[in-house]
Amino acid sequence: MALKRIGILTGGGDCPGLNAVIRAVAKNAMGAGIEVIGIEDGYLGLIEDRFCPLKRDDVSNILTLGGTILGSCNKANPSSYAVRQDGKWVMKDVRDQVIKHYKKAGLDALVVIGGDGTMSGAAKLIDAGMSIVGVPKTIDNDLWGSDVTFGHDTAVTTASDALDKVHTTASSHHRVMVVEIMGRYAGWLALNAGVASGADVILIPEIAFDIEKVAAKCVERSKIGKRFTIIAAGEGAKQAGGKMFIDHINEASPDPIRLGGVAKFVSDQVEKITGIESRSIVLGHIQRGGPPTPRDRLLATGFGHHAMCLVHKGSFGRVVIKKNGVIDSIPIVDVADKVRTVPLDHPMLEAARALGTSFGD
Using CB under 6 A as the criterion, which residues of the chain lie in contact with ligand F6P when the complex forms?
A: 13, 74, 115, 138-140, 182-184, 235, 258-259, 288
For residue 137, the minimal CB distance to ligand F6P (Å) is: 9
Beta carbon nearer to ligand F6P, 158 or 358 = 158
Give the up-direction half-sphere exposure of residue 237: CA atoms within 13 A in the CB hemisphere. 33
For residue 154, the minimal CB distance to ligand F6P (Å) is: 12
From the number of C-beta atoms within 10 Å of its C-beta (0-12, 13-18, 19+), residue 330 rates as middle
Query: Which own/partner pairs from 30-34 qualify as long-range (CB within 8 Å, at least 24 positions apart)?
Result: 30/56, 30/59, 32/312, 34/3, 34/4, 34/5, 34/6
For residue 144, the minimal CB distance to ligand F6P (Å) is: 14
Beta carbon nearer to ligand F6P, 99 or 339 = 339
Per DSSP, the residues of 162-179 read HHHHHHHHHHHHT-EEEE
Per DSSP, the residues of 231-248 read EEEETT--BTT----EEE
Active-site residue among 14, 108, 116, 140?
140
Alpha carbon 249 to chain centroid, angstroms? 18
Beta carbon nearer to ligand F6P, 198 or 260 = 260
140 is catalytic: yes
For residue 340, the minimal CB distance to ligand F6P (Å) is: 13
For residue 147, the minimal CB distance to ligand F6P (Å) is: 18
Beta carbon nearer to ligand F6P, 41 or 235 = 235
Residue 243, C-beta contacts closer than 8 angstroms, at least 6 positions apart: none
Helix (H, G, I), strand (E, B) or coil at 273: helix
Beta carbon nearer to ligand F6P, 249 or 344 = 249
